[in-house]
Structure 1
Amino acid sequence: MGNQLSIVGFSDDLAGDFHRINAQWIADMYRLEPTDRDVLDHPRERIVEPGGDILFVRDAELGIIGACALQKTGERQFELTKMGVVPEARGRGAGAFLLAATIARAFEIGCDRLYLLSNSKGAAGVRLYEKTGFVHDAGIMEEFGKRYERCNVAMLYVGPVARSA
């Protein structure tokens, strides 16, 4: 494949990439909701300053191709949110690479409870989350699922999944 992927941390000059990447996939599959617009327009204020983080995946040839955020939602609790990879870079392993780095980052910054909200329409993403150690969780759905009209999947990170040979 020859692609070299690397992880890049948030800086204000990447805020436009965060908005572009996420607004594109959300608009393609759903519609931008007010909570999406707020976070995408103010990533430093809504994610970074309250104690979260945003990571990007950079491809050596294509530049910034994906983003994922950790939004602090409680004491030692984070939502993995706004994860997207641009269409022209899908299928290169960038999503899995970015997800692994974001999970590791969550625990570096003191996470005890990591969850995500999604939609079954994004089946490839849901499968990736399941393979990575997230499980469907009715409690997460009840507690946080109402934040988005489109949410019909809520998952809790329980750790790496054992692989059968």
Structure 2
Amino acid sequence: MRTLPYTDALAPYFASINTAWIEDMFVLEDHDRHVLAHPREAIVDRGGVILFAATDDGAIVGTGALMPGEPGAYELTKMGVLADARGTGAGAALLAALIDRARALPGIDTLYLLTNRKCAAAIHLYERAGFVHDADIMARFGHAYARCDVAMRYPLEPSAA
């Protein structure tokens, strides 16, 4: 499995992979529709990151993003893997690459994610990677999605000044 950076040519995979998992479990919200239809504007042009998981033969099987929010805070968001690629390690590889990219972002002090307890496998993946449940993150950002009932933070080490 390898990770690829965002290109406009890959944008349709960002939309289709995320639409599939969201519609399978929930309802697309207005915020989802905007981000999926305009990933460059909503994420990349604002200093965020979108990565893709690809098989060795180049098939795109997953995607995820780091979306800037309030100053110093980035949301790990829109992370999904195609149903037939689940269990292959694609999600874990993608998550590790996104965390590495987050650590390299200038000025970041908060990396968080918002999800739903129905996403039990994803929550387990996040916990294994080091994310912890966080009431402050829920209070600050949980209102972003109607489906959000779980908020987690990744413990970033303070950057040396």
Query: Normalization by structure 2: what TM-score?
Result: 0.94
Does the Cα contact within 8 Å between 2:109 and 2:156 map onto a contact in 1?
no
Percentage of matched positions with identical amino acids: 52
The answer as to 2:76 corresponding to 1:84 is: no
Which amino acid counterpart does residue 81 of structure 2 have in structure 1?
V
Aligned match of 1:68? 64
Matches within 5 A, 1:1-165: 5-61=1-57, 63-110=59-106, 111-158=108-155
Root mean square deviation, CA, Å: 1.3
What CA distance in whole angstroms lies between the structure 2 residues aligned with 1:150 and 1:77? 21
Deviations 1:112-161 (A, max 9, x none): 2100000000000001101111110011001110111100000010259x
Displacement, 1:62?
6.4
Q: CA deviation at 1:61?
A: 4.0
- 8 Å contact kept, 1:134–1:159: no
Code of the aligned partner of 1:17: Y
How far apart are the structure 2 equivalents of 1:61 and 1:88?
16
Contact 2:21 2:80 in 1 (8 A): yes
Distance 1:52 1:43, change over 3 A: same
Alpha-carbon deviations, 1:79-101, whole Å to 9, x = none? Answer: 00000000010000100000000
Listed one character per residue, the Cα deviations across residues 51-105 of structure 1 (whole Å, up to 9, x for unaligned) are 1010000012460000000000122210000000000100001000000000000
Aligned-partner Cα distance in 2 for 1:74–1:151 = 18
Q: Distance in 2 between matches of 1:108 and 1:56?
A: 18
Q: Which runs of 5+ in 2 are unaligned?
A: none
Asked if the contact 2:81–2:90 (Cα under 8 Å) also holds between the matched residues in 1, the reply is yes
